[in-house]
A and B are shown apart, each in its own frame.
Chain A
Protein backbone atom coordinates (compact mmCIF):
# COMPACT_ATOMS: atom_id res chain seq x y z
CA UNK A 1 0.00 0.00 0.00
CA UNK A 2 1.78 3.17 -1.17
CA UNK A 3 1.35 6.37 0.78
CA UNK A 4 2.37 8.53 -2.13
CA UNK A 5 -1.03 10.25 -2.33
CA UNK A 6 -1.89 10.18 1.34
CA UNK A 7 -1.37 12.62 4.17
CA UNK A 8 1.18 12.17 6.91
CA UNK A 9 1.56 14.31 10.02
CA UNK A 10 4.92 15.92 10.69
CA UNK A 11 5.45 16.47 14.39
CA UNK A 12 7.83 19.25 15.40
CA UNK A 13 9.19 19.44 18.91
CA UNK A 14 10.15 23.09 19.17
CA UNK A 15 12.80 23.99 21.74
CA UNK A 16 14.34 26.98 20.01
CA UNK A 17 14.05 30.71 20.52
CA UNK A 18 11.07 31.99 22.55
CA UNK A 19 10.34 28.62 24.09
CA UNK A 20 11.33 26.77 27.22
CA UNK A 21 13.05 23.41 26.86
CA UNK A 22 11.41 20.27 28.11
CA UNK A 23 12.83 18.33 30.99
CA UNK A 24 15.46 15.94 29.63
CA UNK A 25 13.87 12.67 30.73
CA UNK A 26 10.38 13.74 29.69
CA UNK A 27 11.70 14.79 26.29
CA UNK A 28 13.38 11.43 25.77
CA UNK A 29 10.36 9.43 26.92
CA UNK A 30 7.93 11.39 24.76
CA UNK A 31 10.06 11.23 21.64
CA UNK A 32 10.69 7.51 22.18
CA UNK A 33 6.97 6.86 22.48
CA UNK A 34 6.10 8.88 19.40
CA UNK A 35 8.73 7.03 17.37
CA UNK A 36 7.44 3.76 18.79
CA UNK A 37 3.99 4.65 17.49
CA UNK A 38 5.31 5.31 14.01
CA UNK A 39 5.44 9.11 13.97
CA UNK A 40 8.16 11.07 12.20
CA UNK A 41 9.46 13.93 14.26
CA UNK A 42 11.54 17.05 13.81
CA UNK A 43 13.31 18.43 16.84
CA UNK A 44 14.10 22.12 16.50
CA UNK A 45 16.87 23.22 18.82
CA UNK A 46 19.30 26.09 19.12
CA UNK A 47 21.65 24.86 16.40
CA UNK A 48 21.80 22.71 13.31
CA UNK A 49 19.34 22.44 10.47
CA UNK A 50 16.20 20.53 9.65
CA UNK A 51 15.01 19.11 6.36
CA UNK A 52 13.02 21.43 4.10
CA UNK A 53 9.28 21.70 4.64
CA UNK A 54 6.72 20.17 2.34
CA UNK A 55 2.96 20.50 1.97
CA UNK A 56 1.97 18.10 4.73
CA UNK A 57 0.26 19.19 7.97
CA UNK A 58 2.60 20.10 10.81
CA UNK A 59 1.96 19.96 14.54
CA UNK A 60 4.37 22.07 16.59
CA UNK A 61 4.71 21.09 20.23
CA UNK A 62 6.53 23.41 22.59
CA UNK A 63 6.51 25.18 25.90
CA UNK A 64 5.52 28.63 24.73
CA UNK A 65 5.52 31.15 27.61
CA UNK A 66 2.97 33.31 25.82
CA UNK A 67 0.75 30.46 24.73
CA UNK A 68 0.18 28.98 21.31
CA UNK A 69 -2.79 31.07 20.15
CA UNK A 70 -0.75 34.02 18.95
CA UNK A 71 1.71 31.76 17.13
CA UNK A 72 -1.16 30.03 15.40
CA UNK A 73 -2.77 33.30 14.36
CA UNK A 74 0.54 34.48 12.93
CA UNK A 75 1.19 31.28 11.04
CA UNK A 76 1.23 31.76 7.29
CA UNK A 77 -0.45 28.46 6.60
CA UNK A 78 -3.44 26.80 8.17
CA UNK A 79 -1.73 23.45 7.89
CA UNK A 80 0.51 24.42 10.84
CA UNK A 81 -0.93 23.78 14.27
CA UNK A 82 0.69 24.84 17.56
CA UNK A 83 0.14 23.16 20.91
CA UNK A 84 1.49 24.59 24.11
CA UNK A 85 2.62 21.59 26.15
CA UNK A 86 3.51 23.52 29.29
CA UNK A 87 2.39 21.35 32.19
CA UNK A 88 1.68 18.34 29.96
CA UNK A 89 2.88 14.93 30.99
CA UNK A 90 4.04 12.31 28.46
CA UNK A 91 0.59 10.80 28.05
CA UNK A 92 -0.94 14.18 27.33
CA UNK A 93 1.69 15.04 24.74
CA UNK A 94 1.25 11.74 22.93
CA UNK A 95 -2.54 12.11 23.11
CA UNK A 96 -2.31 15.63 21.63
CA UNK A 97 -0.35 14.27 18.68
CA UNK A 98 -2.70 11.36 18.14
CA UNK A 99 -5.70 13.69 18.25
CA UNK A 100 -4.30 15.94 15.51
CA UNK A 101 -3.33 12.90 13.44
CA UNK A 102 -6.90 11.65 13.56
CA UNK A 103 -8.33 15.10 12.84
CA UNK A 104 -6.08 15.54 9.80
CA UNK A 105 -6.85 12.00 8.65
CA UNK A 106 -3.13 11.38 8.46
CA UNK A 107 -1.94 7.82 8.04
CA UNK A 108 -1.22 5.66 11.04
CA UNK A 109 2.07 3.80 10.67
CA UNK A 110 3.03 0.48 12.12
CA UNK A 111 1.16 -2.78 12.46
CA UNK A 112 3.41 -4.54 9.98
CA UNK A 113 6.99 -5.69 10.28
CA UNK A 114 8.55 -4.13 7.21
CA UNK A 115 10.08 -7.27 5.78
CA UNK A 116 10.57 -7.09 2.03
CA UNK A 117 13.41 -7.31 -0.50
CA UNK A 118 15.36 -4.22 -1.46
CA UNK A 119 17.23 -4.46 -4.75
CA UNK A 120 20.76 -3.11 -5.05
CA UNK A 121 20.60 -1.95 -8.66
CA UNK A 122 24.37 -1.40 -8.67
CA UNK A 123 24.69 -5.17 -8.49
CA UNK A 124 21.50 -6.41 -10.15
CA UNK A 125 21.94 -7.79 -13.67
CA UNK A 126 18.22 -8.16 -14.28
CA UNK A 127 18.56 -11.93 -14.64
CA UNK A 128 15.02 -12.50 -13.27
CA UNK A 129 16.07 -15.38 -11.02
CA UNK A 130 14.23 -13.73 -8.15
CA UNK A 131 11.06 -13.28 -10.17
CA UNK A 132 11.20 -16.88 -11.32
CA UNK A 133 11.81 -18.12 -7.80
CA UNK A 134 9.27 -16.21 -5.72
CA UNK A 135 5.90 -17.94 -5.47
CA UNK A 136 4.21 -15.04 -3.78
CA UNK A 137 4.24 -12.43 -6.51
CA UNK A 138 6.56 -10.02 -4.71
CA UNK A 139 8.53 -9.29 -7.87
CA UNK A 140 7.43 -7.96 -11.21
CA UNK A 141 8.91 -6.17 -14.18
CA UNK A 142 8.22 -2.72 -15.53
CA UNK A 143 7.30 -1.97 -19.14
CA UNK A 144 10.95 -2.05 -20.17
CA UNK A 145 11.45 -5.42 -18.53
CA UNK A 146 13.37 -4.19 -15.49
CA UNK A 147 12.97 -6.15 -12.30
CA UNK A 148 11.05 -4.42 -9.53
CA UNK A 149 9.72 -5.18 -6.08
CA UNK A 150 6.04 -4.59 -6.67
CA UNK A 151 4.15 -6.26 -3.83
CA UNK A 152 6.09 -5.81 -0.60
CA UNK A 153 3.11 -6.91 1.47
CA UNK A 154 3.17 -10.36 -0.14
CA UNK A 155 6.63 -11.11 1.19
CA UNK A 156 6.81 -13.75 3.91
CA UNK A 157 8.20 -12.28 7.11
CA UNK A 158 11.73 -13.45 7.96
CA UNK A 159 12.08 -15.40 4.70
CA UNK A 160 15.22 -14.32 2.81
CA UNK A 161 15.08 -17.19 0.29
CA UNK A 162 15.07 -15.06 -2.87
CA UNK A 163 18.27 -13.35 -1.77
CA UNK A 164 19.87 -16.80 -1.59
CA UNK A 165 19.16 -17.48 -5.23
CA UNK A 166 20.42 -14.10 -6.45
CA UNK A 167 23.74 -14.79 -8.22
CA UNK A 168 24.95 -11.23 -7.60
CA UNK A 169 24.05 -10.80 -3.91
CA UNK A 170 21.90 -7.90 -5.05
CA UNK A 171 18.87 -8.59 -2.87
CA UNK A 172 18.86 -7.16 0.63
CA UNK A 173 16.55 -7.57 3.57
CA UNK A 174 17.71 -4.72 5.82
CA UNK A 175 16.21 -6.34 8.90
CA UNK A 176 17.99 -9.66 8.33
CA UNK A 177 20.51 -10.77 10.95
CA UNK A 178 23.62 -11.24 8.78
CA UNK A 179 25.50 -9.83 5.83
CA UNK A 180 25.43 -9.28 3.00
CA UNK A 181 21.65 -9.83 3.02
CA UNK A 182 21.27 -7.12 5.66
CA UNK A 183 23.07 -4.60 3.44
CA UNK A 184 26.57 -5.16 4.75
CA UNK A 185 29.35 -5.03 2.14
CA UNK A 186 29.57 -8.02 -0.16
CA UNK A 187 32.57 -10.20 0.64
CA UNK A 188 34.45 -12.30 -1.87
CA UNK A 189 32.93 -15.49 -0.52
CA UNK A 190 29.47 -14.01 -1.00
CA UNK A 191 30.26 -13.70 -4.67
CA UNK A 192 30.21 -17.49 -4.87
CA UNK A 193 26.44 -17.31 -4.75
CA UNK A 194 26.02 -19.00 -8.07
CA UNK A 195 27.91 -21.96 -6.67
CA UNK A 196 25.86 -21.80 -3.50
CA UNK A 197 22.70 -21.83 -5.55
CA UNK A 198 23.88 -24.95 -7.34
CA UNK A 199 24.68 -26.51 -3.99
CA UNK A 200 21.19 -25.87 -2.73
CA UNK A 201 19.79 -27.36 -5.90
CA UNK A 202 22.04 -30.40 -5.56
CA UNK A 203 21.10 -30.81 -1.96
CA UNK A 204 17.47 -30.81 -2.89
CA UNK A 205 17.97 -33.07 -5.87
CA UNK A 206 16.70 -30.62 -8.46
CA UNK A 207 14.82 -27.47 -7.81
CA UNK A 208 13.05 -26.60 -4.64
CA UNK A 209 9.57 -26.77 -6.04
CA UNK A 210 9.87 -30.09 -7.79
CA UNK A 211 11.54 -31.49 -4.69
CA UNK A 212 8.66 -30.32 -2.56
CA UNK A 213 6.18 -31.77 -5.01
CA UNK A 214 7.87 -35.17 -5.11
CA UNK A 215 8.23 -35.34 -1.35
CA UNK A 216 4.69 -34.25 -0.81
CA UNK A 217 3.33 -36.77 -3.30
CA UNK A 218 5.35 -39.55 -1.68
CA UNK A 219 4.07 -38.56 1.70
CA UNK A 220 0.50 -38.44 0.42
CA UNK A 221 0.88 -41.80 -1.26
CA UNK A 222 2.31 -43.38 1.84
CA UNK A 223 -0.45 -41.86 3.88
CA UNK A 224 -3.11 -43.25 1.59
CA UNK A 225 -1.50 -46.70 1.45
CA UNK A 226 -0.37 -47.16 4.97
CA UNK A 227 -2.74 -44.88 6.76
CA UNK A 228 0.34 -43.86 8.70
CA UNK A 229 -0.14 -40.18 9.17
CA UNK A 230 2.73 -39.98 11.61
CA UNK A 231 5.20 -41.34 9.08
CA UNK A 232 3.95 -39.02 6.36
CA UNK A 233 4.18 -36.06 8.64
CA UNK A 234 7.64 -37.10 9.69
CA UNK A 235 8.71 -37.29 6.04
CA UNK A 236 7.34 -33.86 5.31
CA UNK A 237 9.02 -32.41 8.37
CA UNK A 238 12.36 -33.89 7.34
CA UNK A 239 12.05 -32.36 3.90
CA UNK A 240 11.05 -29.02 5.31
CA UNK A 241 13.87 -29.05 7.82
CA UNK A 242 16.35 -29.63 5.00
CA UNK A 243 14.85 -26.78 3.03
CA UNK A 244 14.80 -24.50 6.02
CA UNK A 245 18.46 -25.20 6.69
CA UNK A 246 19.51 -24.75 3.08
CA UNK A 247 17.79 -21.46 2.52
CA UNK A 248 17.28 -20.15 6.05
CA UNK A 249 13.58 -20.25 5.27
CA UNK A 250 11.33 -20.05 8.32
CA UNK A 251 9.43 -23.28 8.96
CA UNK A 252 6.12 -21.41 9.06
CA UNK A 253 6.71 -20.19 5.52
CA UNK A 254 7.38 -23.72 4.30
CA UNK A 255 4.42 -25.10 6.20
CA UNK A 256 2.16 -22.52 4.60
CA UNK A 257 3.23 -23.31 1.06
CA UNK A 258 0.32 -24.10 -1.23
CA UNK A 259 -0.47 -27.54 -2.56
CA UNK A 260 2.06 -29.16 -4.95
CA UNK A 261 -0.25 -28.43 -7.89
CA UNK A 262 -0.59 -24.83 -6.89
CA UNK A 263 3.16 -24.53 -6.38
CA UNK A 264 3.77 -25.82 -9.87
CA UNK A 265 1.18 -23.50 -11.35
CA UNK A 266 2.62 -20.46 -9.57
CA UNK A 267 6.16 -21.44 -10.46
CA UNK A 268 5.15 -21.70 -14.12
CA UNK A 269 3.45 -18.30 -13.95
CA UNK A 270 6.50 -16.71 -12.36
CA UNK A 271 8.76 -18.32 -14.94
CA UNK A 272 6.56 -17.01 -17.75
CA UNK A 273 6.64 -13.49 -16.30
CA UNK A 274 10.43 -13.65 -16.04
CA UNK A 275 10.73 -14.97 -19.59
CA UNK A 276 8.51 -12.19 -20.92
CA UNK A 277 10.59 -9.59 -19.08
CA UNK A 278 13.82 -11.01 -20.45
CA UNK A 279 12.44 -10.95 -23.97
CA UNK A 280 11.50 -7.30 -23.57
CA UNK A 281 15.15 -6.53 -22.93
CA UNK A 282 16.27 -8.17 -26.17
Chain B
Protein backbone atom coordinates (compact mmCIF):
# COMPACT_ATOMS: atom_id res chain seq x y z
CA UNK B 1 0.00 0.00 0.00
CA UNK B 2 1.28 3.48 -0.91
CA UNK B 3 1.37 5.87 2.05
CA UNK B 4 1.63 9.17 0.14
CA UNK B 5 -1.38 11.47 0.36
CA UNK B 6 -3.33 10.50 -2.73
CA UNK B 7 -5.12 12.83 -5.08
CA UNK B 8 -8.77 12.06 -5.78
CA UNK B 9 -10.38 11.98 -9.20
CA UNK B 10 -14.13 11.66 -9.62
CA UNK B 11 -15.73 10.75 -12.96
CA UNK B 12 -19.33 11.85 -13.38
CA UNK B 13 -19.98 9.48 -16.32
CA UNK B 14 -22.15 12.26 -17.67
CA UNK B 15 -22.99 10.82 -21.07
CA UNK B 16 -24.42 7.44 -20.05
CA UNK B 17 -26.69 5.97 -17.40
CA UNK B 18 -24.49 3.04 -16.45
CA UNK B 19 -23.83 4.27 -12.92
CA UNK B 20 -26.76 4.74 -10.58
CA UNK B 21 -27.35 8.53 -10.52
CA UNK B 22 -28.07 8.37 -6.80
CA UNK B 23 -24.74 6.64 -6.16
CA UNK B 24 -22.85 9.20 -8.23
CA UNK B 25 -24.59 12.06 -6.47
CA UNK B 26 -23.89 10.56 -3.05
CA UNK B 27 -20.18 10.21 -3.77
CA UNK B 28 -19.92 13.71 -5.22
CA UNK B 29 -21.83 15.22 -2.32
CA UNK B 30 -19.59 13.52 0.22
CA UNK B 31 -16.50 14.72 -1.59
CA UNK B 32 -17.77 18.29 -1.69
CA UNK B 33 -18.88 18.25 1.94
CA UNK B 34 -15.59 16.76 3.12
CA UNK B 35 -13.53 19.89 2.55
CA UNK B 36 -11.02 17.76 0.61
CA UNK B 37 -9.39 18.94 -2.58
CA UNK B 38 -10.17 16.77 -5.58
CA UNK B 39 -10.49 16.67 -9.35
CA UNK B 40 -13.79 16.01 -11.10
CA UNK B 41 -14.37 15.31 -14.77
CA UNK B 42 -17.54 15.04 -16.78
CA UNK B 43 -16.77 11.76 -18.51
CA UNK B 44 -13.48 9.89 -18.78
CA UNK B 45 -14.73 8.03 -21.85
CA UNK B 46 -15.26 11.21 -23.80
CA UNK B 47 -11.93 12.61 -22.67
CA UNK B 48 -10.22 9.43 -23.82
CA UNK B 49 -11.97 9.36 -27.18
CA UNK B 50 -10.97 12.98 -27.77
CA UNK B 51 -7.47 12.41 -26.43
CA UNK B 52 -8.11 15.32 -24.09
CA UNK B 53 -4.77 16.71 -22.87
CA UNK B 54 -6.30 17.10 -19.40
CA UNK B 55 -5.86 13.34 -18.98
CA UNK B 56 -2.09 13.78 -19.06
CA UNK B 57 -2.33 16.27 -16.21
CA UNK B 58 -4.60 13.98 -14.22
CA UNK B 59 -2.39 10.94 -14.82
CA UNK B 60 0.67 12.79 -13.62
CA UNK B 61 -0.48 12.86 -9.99
CA UNK B 62 2.06 11.15 -7.73
CA UNK B 63 -0.66 8.79 -6.56
CA UNK B 64 -4.37 8.83 -7.10
CA UNK B 65 -7.69 7.25 -6.17
CA UNK B 66 -10.18 7.30 -9.01
CA UNK B 67 -13.92 6.96 -8.43
CA UNK B 68 -15.22 5.78 -11.79
CA UNK B 69 -15.98 2.31 -13.18
CA UNK B 70 -14.05 -0.92 -13.75
CA UNK B 71 -10.28 -0.68 -13.18
CA UNK B 72 -9.55 -2.48 -16.47
CA UNK B 73 -11.61 0.07 -18.39
CA UNK B 74 -10.11 3.04 -16.58
CA UNK B 75 -6.58 1.77 -17.17
CA UNK B 76 -7.04 1.49 -20.92
CA UNK B 77 -9.08 4.67 -21.27
CA UNK B 78 -6.10 6.60 -19.96
CA UNK B 79 -3.57 4.54 -21.89
CA UNK B 80 -5.37 4.86 -25.21
CA UNK B 81 -5.30 8.63 -24.81
CA UNK B 82 -1.52 8.57 -24.37
CA UNK B 83 -1.77 9.23 -20.62
CA UNK B 84 -0.93 5.90 -18.94
CA UNK B 85 -1.57 5.66 -15.20
CA UNK B 86 1.14 4.52 -12.84
CA UNK B 87 -0.20 1.12 -11.82
CA UNK B 88 1.80 1.08 -8.61
CA UNK B 89 0.15 4.28 -7.41
CA UNK B 90 -3.40 4.08 -8.69
CA UNK B 91 -6.51 2.72 -7.00
CA UNK B 92 -9.76 2.62 -8.95
CA UNK B 93 -13.04 2.55 -7.06
CA UNK B 94 -15.88 1.15 -9.10
CA UNK B 95 -19.12 3.08 -8.68
CA UNK B 96 -20.89 0.55 -10.94
CA UNK B 97 -20.74 -2.24 -8.42
CA UNK B 98 -19.72 -0.75 -5.09
CA UNK B 99 -22.15 1.12 -2.82
CA UNK B 100 -21.51 4.83 -2.39
CA UNK B 101 -20.73 4.63 1.35
CA UNK B 102 -17.95 2.12 0.66
CA UNK B 103 -16.56 4.27 -2.13
CA UNK B 104 -16.53 7.29 0.15
CA UNK B 105 -14.89 5.33 2.93
CA UNK B 106 -12.05 4.26 0.61
CA UNK B 107 -11.67 7.75 -0.80
CA UNK B 108 -11.13 9.22 2.63
CA UNK B 109 -8.89 6.45 3.95
CA UNK B 110 -5.18 7.16 3.87
CA UNK B 111 -3.02 5.35 1.38
CA UNK B 112 -3.62 3.81 -2.00
CA UNK B 113 -4.25 0.12 -2.64
CA UNK B 114 -3.10 -0.26 -6.24
CA UNK B 115 -5.55 -2.36 -8.22
CA UNK B 116 -5.02 -1.75 -11.92
CA UNK B 117 -4.94 -5.12 -13.66
CA UNK B 118 -1.80 -6.27 -15.36
CA UNK B 119 -1.66 -9.11 -17.85
CA UNK B 120 -4.51 -11.43 -18.65
CA UNK B 121 -6.29 -11.07 -15.34
CA UNK B 122 -9.36 -13.25 -14.89
CA UNK B 123 -11.87 -13.72 -12.11
CA UNK B 124 -9.64 -16.45 -10.70
CA UNK B 125 -6.55 -14.27 -10.49
CA UNK B 126 -5.09 -13.33 -7.12
CA UNK B 127 -5.93 -10.26 -5.06
CA UNK B 128 -5.45 -7.00 -6.90
CA UNK B 129 -2.91 -5.74 -4.36
CA UNK B 130 -0.58 -8.58 -5.24
CA UNK B 131 -0.61 -7.93 -8.96
CA UNK B 132 2.77 -6.79 -10.24
CA UNK B 133 2.88 -3.11 -11.22
CA UNK B 134 2.51 -2.30 -14.88
CA UNK B 135 5.81 -1.17 -16.39
CA UNK B 136 5.13 2.52 -16.91
CA UNK B 137 4.54 3.63 -20.49
CA UNK B 138 5.34 0.29 -22.09
CA UNK B 139 2.43 -1.95 -22.91
CA UNK B 140 0.06 0.72 -21.66
CA UNK B 141 1.27 3.21 -24.20
CA UNK B 142 -0.76 3.17 -27.38
CA UNK B 143 1.08 2.76 -30.60
CA UNK B 144 1.38 5.89 -32.70
CA UNK B 145 -0.95 6.65 -35.54
CA UNK B 146 0.39 6.14 -39.02
Docked complex: A132-153 residues within 8 A CB-CB of B:
140-144, 146, 148-150, 152-153
| A65 contacts partner chain B, Cβ-Cβ < 8 Å | no
| Interface contact B35-A46, CB-CB below 8 Å | yes
| Interface contact A188-B14, CB-CB below 8 Å | no
- With A and B bound together, what is the CA distance between A32 and B80 in angstroms? 27
| B137 contacts partner chain A, Cβ-Cβ < 8 Å | no
| B3 contacts partner chain A, Cβ-Cβ < 8 Å | no
| A279 contacts partner chain B, Cβ-Cβ < 8 Å | no
| A236 contacts partner chain B, Cβ-Cβ < 8 Å | no
| Interface contact B53-A4, CB-CB below 8 Å | yes
Return chain A residues, CB-CB under 8 Å to B106.
none
| Interface contact B117-A122, CB-CB below 8 Å | yes
Return chain B residues, CB-CB under 8 Å to A10.
54
| B104 contacts partner chain A, Cβ-Cβ < 8 Å | no
| A255 contacts partner chain B, Cβ-Cβ < 8 Å | no
Return chain A residues, CB-CB under 8 Å to B28.
28, 31-32, 35
| Interface contact A186-B122, CB-CB below 8 Å | yes
Interchain CB contact (< 8 A) of B15 among A114, A152, A186: A114
Return chain B residues, CB-CB under 8 Å to A149.
80
**Residue of A whose beta carbon sits closest to that of B33:** A24
Q: How large is the interface on B (under 10, 10 to 19, 20 to 34, 35 or more residues)?
A: 35 or more
A-B contact count (CB 8 A): 221
**Residue of A whose beta carbon sits closest to that of B128:** A185
| Interface contact B42-A39, CB-CB below 8 Å | yes
Docked complex: A70-88 residues within 8 A CB-CB of B:
none
Binary interface encoding of chain B residues 41-84 relative to chain A, with 1 for a CB under 8 A from any of its CBs, else 0:
11111111111111011101100100001111110110110100
| B18 contacts partner chain A, Cβ-Cβ < 8 Å | yes
| B98 contacts partner chain A, Cβ-Cβ < 8 Å | no
| Interface contact A42-B29, CB-CB below 8 Å | no
| Interface contact A56-B143, CB-CB below 8 Å | no
- With A and B bound together, what is the CA distance between A28 and B33 in angstroms? 9
| Interface contact B32-A24, CB-CB below 8 Å | yes
- With A and B bound together, what is the CA distance between A159 and B47 in angstroms? 20
| A206 contacts partner chain B, Cβ-Cβ < 8 Å | no
Return chain A residues, CB-CB under 8 Å to B90.
none
Docked complex: B122-137 residues within 8 A CB-CB of A:
122-125
Return chain A residues, CB-CB under 8 Å to B142.
121, 148
- With A and B bound together, what is the CA distance between A38 and B44 in angstroms? 10
| Interface contact A43-B32, CB-CB below 8 Å | yes
| Interface contact B16-A48, CB-CB below 8 Å | no
| Interface contact B61-A52, CB-CB below 8 Å | yes
Known: A51-B39, A52-B57, A184-B72. A1 touches B8 (CB 8 A): no
**Residue of A whose beta carbon sits closest to that of B117:** A122
Interchain CB contact (< 8 A) of B122 among A49, A116, A191: A191
| Interface contact A51-B143, CB-CB below 8 Å | no
| A250 contacts partner chain B, Cβ-Cβ < 8 Å | no
| Interface contact B7-A2, CB-CB below 8 Å | no
- With A and B bound together, what is the CA distance between A109 and B55 in angstroms? 14
Given contacts A54-B54, A109-B43, A146-B143, 7 further A-B contacts (CB under 8 A): A8-B53, A35-B12, A40-B40, A45-B35, A48-B36, A109-B50, A119-B80
23 residue pairs of the A-B complex, CB under 8 angstroms, read: A15-B35, A31-B32, A35-B42, A40-B41, A43-B36, A43-B37, A43-B38, A45-B38, A47-B37, A48-B8, A50-B7, A54-B57, A110-B14, A112-B15, A112-B46, A118-B73, A119-B76, A121-B140, A153-B49, A175-B13, A182-B69, A184-B97, A186-B120
